[in-house]
Amino acid sequence: MGEFPERLAAVLDQRRKEGLYRHRLTLESSQGPIVCVNGRQYLNFCSNDYLGLAAHPRVVERFRSAAAQYGVGSGASHLVCGHSAPHHQLEEALAEFTGRARALLFSSGYMANAGILSSLLQRGDSVFEDRLNHASLLDGGLHSGARFQRFPHNDVSALEVKLESAQGPKMVVVDGVFSMDGDTAPLAALADLCTDHDAWLMVDDAHGFGVLGERGVGSTEAAGLAVSCVPVLMATLGKALGTAGAFVAGSELLIEGLIQQSRNYIYTTALPPAVAAASLEALSLVREEPWRREHLAQLIMRFRVGAQQLGLPLMTSTSAIQPLLIGDAALAVDLSNRLGEEGFLIGAIRPPTVPTGTSRLRITLSAAHSEEQVDQLLEQLAACWPVN
């Protein structure tokens, strides 16, 4: 068979035995509270479309009109001839919305995080990351060449000990909202600590941007932090805004430095201009319709109260991410499948995405959901419980 095929086959076989084999769903509809898979409709509780904007008529129409004007592809990287007016307008709008001097678009969150960290960090620097950071942050830190250290989840005291013994330039990197646990980073305490130790703080706000804060600016706004407290702010456009891509916002010096140095920015084709235009329209809806955040917050509270009354193993989260801790991977998959049979689409999250023994159902809520749909979910969870 050969070494590479044998190696791949062994990995796949082991994943099947451990209940960790993954399968893709093929949707036959747009994102929304109800989706179609294999000709059947499901109540969708596993999408990151937190504000229900992925199929919003205004966003869709803006995409169509921009595609008619600019085409469906950008044709080149930003530094060749792929940077179009919608890209520039979106960057300016994101900078203004987040209160930063400038913003820079990337094709994905993974590319943004890897590009930021590889550009800013050098050998001899120190980078400190929360143990539960997204894989893109961990990979970016590991591959940067800097001294890479993890600290226990949300443990400010443990981080302080590490910072005190570090020499040279230092960066602390965290998620604003942790994608698998749904809890938030103690940003105010982290910002104070970084100020005391002359360290830069970078926040990946993929799951907070558009959702948290009075205006929807995200985790940093919710924490009451000044712009100067978070020199590097990154967020994605494919979650609350419902489109695709990512951005980093910060000072003029930061953004210009990334434009000149980030290989992930320089050597990749720019996002389609129509996607940038659709993102701009989605950002307008975030500004104009605060009821979406308010309704989502009400649904989160409704779900948590109901789940607690049922005695379900809720993890600590006040975000749109509401994980139910199962533990065993096979049991999590079995429960996901049983819910699927009843018409509920909920993903089972297993290692290596989460630590061994912490497999879970990752339930996500959207402003597009109704109270009745959340109640239906609770009823079905009660019917499927306990897991055995």
d(Cα 125, Cα 376) in Å, to the nearest integer?
51
Given 74, 119, 144, 179, which residue is catalytic?
179
Strand partners, 175: 204
> Cα–chain-centroid distance for residue 163?
27
Question: What kind and span of H or E run contains 327?
Answer: strand 321-327
Residues in the chain: 388
Given 56, 78, 134, 239, which residue is catalytic?
239
Given 83, 207, 295, 369, which residue is catalytic?
207
Nearest CA to 127 out of 190, 174, 192, 193 is that of 174
Residue 179 catalytic? yes
Residue 143 catalytic? no
d(Cα 124, Cα 370) in Å, to the nearest integer?
52
CA-CA-CA-CA torsion sign (154, 158, 164, 167): negative
What is the residue-wise DSSP string for 222-244? HTT--GGG-SEEEEESSSTT-S-
d(Cα 266, Cα 269) in Å, to the nearest integer?
8
Nearest CA to 174 out of 220, 114, 134, 215 is that of 134
344-345/40-44 β-pairing: parallel
Helix (H, G, I), strand (E, B) or coil at 126: strand
CA distances from 8 to 17, 39, 350 (A): 14, 33, 20
CA-CA-CA-CA torsion sign (356, 331, 48, 371): negative
Residue 207 catalytic? yes
CA distances from 15 to 197, 271, 387 (A): 43, 34, 22
Which residues neighbour 221 within 8 Å (Cβ) at sequence distance 6 or greater?
212, 213, 214, 215
- Using an 8 Å Cβ cutoff, are 242 and 55 in contact? yes
Kindly report the backbone phi and psi dihedral angles of residue 200, in degrees, each rounded to the nearest multiple of 5, phi listed first: -85, 140
Helix (H, G, I), strand (E, B) or coil at 78: helix
**What positions carry a catalytic annotation?**
179, 207, 239
